[in-house]
Structure 1
Amino acid sequence: MSVVLACDLGGSSFRAALIDAEGQVLAEHAIAGPVLSDHLDRSEISAHAWWALLLEAVGRIALNTPEAFAEIAGIAICGVTRTQVFLCADGGEIRPALTWKDARSEGAAGRLRAKLGSHPEAGRINAFHPLARLAWLAEEETTSFAGLASVLEPKDYLNFRLTGRQASDPVSMARLIACAQADEAGSALAALGLAATIIPPILAPCDEVGPVGPGLPAPFDRLAGVPVFCACNDTWTAVAGLGALRPGYAYNISGTTEVLGVLGPEQAEAEGLITVDWGGIWHLGGPSQNGADTANWLVSLLDPAGTGEGVAARLEALLAGRRHPQPLLFLPYLQGERVPYWNPNLRGAFLGLGRQHGATDMAFAVLEGVACLNRIVLERAEAALGTTVGEIRFGGGAAANPAWAQIKADLCGRPVVVGGAKEPGLLGAAIIAWTGLGRFASIVEAQDALVRVARRYEPDPERRAAYDALFAIFRRAEDALAPISADLAGLARNPGPLVVARAADAVAVTTAR
């Protein structure tokens, strides 16, 4: 029986699975990592670390299920986006990749916007935009910039290592493709002295990049000749794995970060949201910096030593406690924010704390704060499209938490439907591979055949008024605290006497003893 190898390079883990043509997972292995080099607004990693994870995860599957591994008919890899791999002419990595969290290009983004003037892409330039990252590289690392030959997304780099061919897809490269388009003053790429050749050839997600090449390390030495499909970023792929890659659907993927979007038949624009042509379906929405990882942060903060249970069980225990009548409010901007604000200087906050509030109140506030952000994105997208979606397909680690799914349904006022696949990104990658192999005529046909629904959560009408009031307060709090966030972020860049003084105090105490 043939299987496909589906891989998902996430922000905090790498997963690989063997999946048959009925959508059944025959083998799966996950590895934590990669470990990012993060400090203040810097976030980077060598792309070779992703290659090492791919070899390790797939090697474990080959070891544990050799017979199924021998039946691999195709490979598809999805991965995190808004992350750039910089390669020189011989395909080597010039410098570590800049991840989705890196915000060092904020200043360069402002200068670039002014330089681009009326170019259609100018209004989208921010610290997380790939062209802003390239502008930063030109300003800060001139040698690296001079040697730049191509820019890849993480999954494209892995495909390149497997096949020897550089390629990407129109969704993952949408912003750089837009930068290559010229107006009266020329292209946005040309404004940095770059040619469109830094963008690799563009393929559809189900197109074959090439076969696995010979002479690769184990276990891929056993897969030479197996076709590798281009695939897409992890969001697009997971949406397919949820069965929502079609007009009139909304999706919400909550993993390391949170992604929410609405799909429609026509192009529309909304403030702070990403509009991308997903192959005849228009996407409106995009990724935030905060999601299930925000809940992980809270659990680790309240219980740093742990109790031997996983994060999910510890969060369930917190939510099972008694809640105070006066809710807390939480702004979930622990790492700045992308959609819908594109502001790396936003910071999180708990509001309304009283002496009788406890861990349960904080846990509910975190879940509700992320759901409030979901509602902002949903409302902006629906207003721009002029339509209301019938349901939100929900996937990712947070989808296993019934309380969070219900909170999202109640706050957004839409049914939340949890997909049957534990890892929709893996199922979506399998959908790509099987469609590319010709098993299904289209992605839509593959979704209909392989995607199953696990649970459905209807909005509770009794909570509507209370959540509307909480949401209104949330919006007021955002407006009020954004300037304070900027001031605090400024202090972090110039720590001065606060940090130095406390360090001196510690030395003085030690000396006195």
Structure 2
Amino acid sequence: MECILGIDVGTSNVKAVLFDGNGTEVQVASRESETINDGGNWEEQDMLLVWDKVKSCIKELIDSGAVKSEEIKGIGVTGQGEGCWLIDEEGNPVQNAILWCDGRAVAEVKRITEEYPEIGKLYHKTTGTPPLLGNQMILIRWMKTNRKEVLDKASRIMFCKDWVRYKMTGVIATEITDSFTSLLDAQTGNVADELMKAMDIYEYRDYIPASVSSDSVVGTISEEFAAWSGLAAGTPVIAGALDTSATAVGLGAIHEKDACVILGTTCASEIVMKKTDCKFGAENSRYEKHPIEDLYVELQPTLNGTPNIDWMLENMAQTKDFNEIDRIVESVPVGCGGVVYHPYISVAGERAPFYHPYARASFFGISQVTTRNQLIRAVYEGISLSIRDCLQNIDKDATIYLAGGGAKSPVWAQMIADVMGRRVMIPQGKELGAKGVAIIAGVKFGLYGSYEEAVKKACTFRQTYEPNLQRTKKYDLLYELFRQVRLHNQQIWDYRHQMNKKIQAIKED
């Protein structure tokens, strides 16, 4: 049986998945990831520990005997994007990886958006992405300002999946969907040299490996790793793709105007489009490269997705049974009695569809008759309305492909269909990011004749939700309130941040 191995190195979990030619998950191995938080807004991971977890997953798959190692035609890797993964000349980490959801670089973002706005505009227009806290170029600037001695010990800067692929093959490379997040000129595909000069970090230009296409074979499984893992030495490994871009392929979103939402740690909302339709530098715009050569993605990846649900379960609900939570949510009418929840729960604020480092979650409209169940539903509605906030440019006839852990809830899927007023489709299988890179590898190695054939064969759907248009009318009204409160809170979030600093400065006896 011919198989492709897809590896997904997420923020919360690491997974290795074997897929057959029909896109069926033959075997899955997973490990929980461990994130290091300093108690504030710093988020890091131990690079060696991440690699150990990937190794463990791969070895579990091979040891299971589900397939013979020589039946694996190729390997693709996807993973969390952005952040700062640095290695020295010997290929060893020089520090923990700084993650995409890290909030430490506030001063750097402020500098190029407020003090030197011409640089901020150059950044947005050049890369297609506005200056954001977790962007790799922003973090290089933070490292130069705050940890130059560590930065100077490095020789290469990577992304998460590139680190894992390097450890499997011994080859250093990065690819375009990851590099496109902040390092490349969106018009040319070359490293954004002029922007690096404007940000005074051009001295680290050689740290950036050359970017290749997602389907490029960048190396093969090394003899050393083959001997340890049981994989066949020489098995080809493609460059892979950023997790959100890979998931789009895994969902079958390979055509212009296709839309998808990944309900995970980040709620990533995507619309596939041609380059000619991208408006690089336009307000609230953010574009990434699709793995297929001539396509791009309008991407709005919030910092705040399912962690809102985790917080609600831990601090508000009286059960952690999701079936019971679904029954509670379904029992409450649309609008939760006038309560609106804004889901900006990350310590780093929010980045999509707006940027604010001090944005915070809140309930609006609570009164003495507000119930616990209304608050629980409001959390789900708040995330759903945030998705609508991110998909303002969606085509009126588009179908939304829904993936991620949150897609397991039929009540939430129906709510999103109602909020958006569009059909929502749930795919078969769970590991859509790994499936995406498996499809890319499958096309590369001849398992499929084309992406069209691959999607037709490997991307099937288990459930379709049609919108209740009467509920959509209610959500149209609720969305306007959601958005107005969000806009008015901008100054309040700034005020709260300054107040907290003053409170912390007061020493009690």
The structure-2 alpha-carbon separation of the partners of 1:38 and 1:288, relative to structure 1 and needing over 3 Å to count, comes to farther
Indicate the SS of the match to 2:174: coil
Matches of 1:189 and 1:446 in 2, distance apart? Answer: 43
Equivalent residue, structure 1, for 2:263: 254
Of 205, 218, 225, which residue of structure 2 is paired with 1:209? 218
After TM superposition, the structure 1 stretch with the greater mean CA deviation from structure 2, 254-263 or 187-196, is 187-196
**Aligned mates of 1:358, 1:188 — CA distance in 2:** 55
Counterpart position of 1:489? 497
Q: Deviations over 1:197-225 (max 9, x none)?
A: 22212221111111111112865254321
Could you list the runs of 5+ residues in structure 2 that have no partner in the other structure? none
CA positional deviation for 1:87: 1.7
Q: What is the CA distance between 1:117 and its match in structure 2?
A: 3.3
* Of 203, 208, 230, the match for 1:199: 208
Residues 494 and 421 of structure 1, relative CA distance in 2, 3 Å threshold? farther
1:45 maps to a residue whose letter is: Q
User: What is the match of residue 509 of structure 1?
Assistant: none
Moved more, 133-142 or 366-375: 366-375
Q: CA deviation at 1:134?
A: 0.8
Structure 1 residue 497: Cα displacement: 6.9
1:443 and 1:189 mapped to 2: Cα distance?
40
Q: Kindly, what percent of the aligned residue pairs are identical?
A: 22
What is aligned with 1:121?
A: 123
Equivalent residue in structure 1 for 2:353, among 340, 347, 372: 340
Shift of residue 429, structure 1, vs aligned partner? 2.2
Contact 2:263 2:406 in 1 (8 A): yes
3-state secondary structure, aligned to 1:30: strand
Q: CA deviation at 1:262?
A: 1.0
289, 302, 305: which one aligns with 1:291: 305
Letter in 1 for 2:358: N
Contact 2:35–2:43 under 8 Å retained in 1: no
Q: Which region of structure 1 is more displaced relative to structure 2, 32-41 or 254-263?
A: 32-41
How many angstroms does 1:116 deviate by?
8.0
**Which consecutive residues of structure 1, in runs of 5 or more, have no partner in the other structure?**
505-513
User: In structure 1, what is the equivalent of residue 13 of structure 2?
Assistant: 13
Give the length in aligned residue pairs. 490
Give the alignment's TM-score, normalised by structure 2: 0.90
Indicate conservation of the 8 Å contact 2:42/2:102, yes or no: yes
Alpha-carbon distance in structure 2 between the residues aligned to 1:38 and 1:330: 27
| 2-structure distance, mates of 1:190, 1:346 | 26
Secondary structure of 1:194's match? helix
Q: Is the contact between residue 421 and residue 427 of structure 1 (CA under 8 Å) also seen in structure 2?
A: no
Is the aligned partner of 1:362 residue 2:371?
no
Deviation for aligned residue 1:166: 1.0
**Whole-Å Cα distance in 1 between the matches of residues 327 and 313 of structure 2?**
10
1:423-458 Cα offsets, whole Å, 9 max, x none, are 211221221221221222333332222101221111
2:184 to 169, 177, 186: 177
- The 5 Å alignment of 1:316-327 reads 316-323=326-333, 326-327=337-338
1:268 aligns with 2:268: no
- Distance in 2, matches of 1:493 and 1:14, equals 37
Give the C-alpha shift of residue 112 in structure 1.
4.0
- 1:328 maps to what in 2? 339
CA distance in 2, matches of 1:12, 1:68: 29
Give the whole-Å Cα distance in 1 for the aligned partners of 2:380 and 2:227. Answer: 42
2:424 and 2:242 map into 1 onto residues whose CA distance is 23
In structure 2, distance between residues paired with 1:374 and 1:130: 25
Instruction: Give CA-to-partner distance per residue, 1:32-86, whole Å, 9 cap, x none.
Output: 2223334322111121121011012122222333544553221111101122201
Q: 1:150 corresponds to which residue?
A: 156
1:480 maps to amino acid: H
Deviates more, 1:26-35 or 1:109-118: 109-118
> Which range moves more in the overlay, 154-163 or 88-97?
88-97
1:320: Cα distance to partner? 4.6
How far is 1:21 from its partner? 1.1
Tell me: CA distance 1:491–1:87, structure 2 relative to 1, closer, same or farther (3 Å). farther
Task: Note if 1:234 corresponds to 2:253.
Answer: no
1:407 aligns with 2:415: yes
Query: Counterpart of 1:27 in structure 2: which amino acid?
Result: Q
Contact 2:162 2:172 in 1 (8 A): yes
Secondary structure in 1 aligned to 2:345?
A: coil
Greater CA drift, 406-415 or 275-284: 275-284
Aligned with residue 350 of structure 1, among 360, 363, 379: 363
Q: What letter is aligned with 1:478? A: R
Q: Residues of 1 paired with 2:246 and 2:42: CA distance?
A: 27
**8 Å CA contact 2:418, 2:472 repeated in 1:** yes
Give SS of 1:162's match: helix
Report the AA paired with residue 122 of structure 2: P
The aligned counterpart of 2:165 is 159
Question: What's the TM-score, normalizing by structure 1?
Answer: 0.89
Which string of whole-angstrom CA distances, capped at 9 and with x for unpartnered residues, describes residues 460-487 of structure 1? 1111221111111101111222222222
TM-superposed CA distance for 1:144, in Å, is: 1.3
Q: Does the 8 Å CA contact 2:345/2:361 hold for their aligned counterparts? A: yes
Alpha-carbon distance between aligned partners in 1 of 2:117 and 2:155, rounded to the nearest angstrom:
22
Matched to 2:497, the amino acid is A
Instruction: Quote the Cα distance in structure 2 between the aligned partners of 1:170 and 1:349.
Output: 37
Counterpart in 2 of 1:62? Answer: 62
| Inter-CA distance 104–73: structure 2 relative to 1 (3 Å threshold) | same
Q: Given that residues 427 and 462 in structure 2 are in contact (C-alpha distance below 8 angstroms), is that contact kept between their aligned partners in structure 1?
A: yes
Instruction: Provide, for residues 338-388 of structure 1, a one-character-per-residue CA deviation record: whole Å limited to 9, x for no partner.
Output: 111122210000111123322321122111111111112211x34xxxx53
